[in-house]
Amino acid sequence: MMKGMKRRDVEGRSAGGGMAPRRAFGGKTVYGARVGILVLDSPYPRIPGDTGNALTWPFPVLYKVVRGATASRVVGGKAKGLLGAFLDNATELVEMGADGITTSCGFLSLYQAELAAHCGVPVAASSLMQVPAVAGLLPPGKTVGVITVSASDLTAEHLTAAGAPTDTPVVGADGWPFLEEPKDTRPAIDIAHCEDLVLNAGRDLVARHPAVGAVVLECTRMVPFASALSAETGLPVYDIYSFVSWFHAGLAPRDFGHPGSAPGDWREL
Partner 1 sequence: MKKATAFRRDRVAHGGKTIYGARVGILMLDTLFPRIPGDMCNALTWPFPVLFKVVRGATAARVAERSQGMREDFMVAAEELVAEGADGITTNCGFLALYQDELTERCGVPVAASSLMQIPLIERLFPPGKRAGIVTVSTVTLDADHLKAAGARPDTPVAGTENGREFHRFMHENDVKMDVAAAEQDLLDAGRDLVTRHPEVGAVVLECTNMTPYARAMSEALALPVYDIYSFVCWFHAGLAPRDFGHPGSARREWRG
Looking at the Cβ atoms of 70 and 93, the one nearer to partner 1 is: 93
Among 5, 65, 87, 138, binds partner 1 (CB under 8 A): 138
- How far apart are CB 53 and partner 1 at their closest, in Å? 8
- How far apart are CB 98 and partner 1 at their closest, in Å? 13
Among 133, 143, 153, 165, binds partner 1 (CB under 8 A): 133
Distance of alpha carbon 231 from alpha carbon 210, whole angstroms? 17
Provide the β-strand partners of residue 103: 38
Q: Total residues contacting partner 1 (rule CB under 8 A)?
A: 70
User: In the sheet that 237-238 helps form, which strands lie side by side, from edge to edge?
Assistant: 170-172, 143-148, 212-217, 237-238
Among 42, 103, 104, 112, binds partner 1 (CB under 8 A): 112
Among residue numbers 182 through 221, which ones bind partner 1 (CB under 8 A)?
191-192, 195, 213-214
3-state secondary structure of 262: coil
**Residue 111 contacts partner 1 per CB under 8 A:** no
Looking at the Cβ atoms of 81 and 259, the one nearer to partner 1 is: 259
Print the binding letters for residues 30-49 with partner 1: x by CB under 8 A, - otherwise: -----------------xxx
**Residue 93, Ramachandran bin (φ over 0: left; ψ between -120 and 50: alpha; else beta):** alpha
Give rounded-to-5 percent helix, strand, coil for the chain: 40, 15, 45
Distance of alpha carbon 96 from alpha carbon 100, whole angstroms? 12
**Residue 136 contacts partner 1 per CB under 8 A:** yes
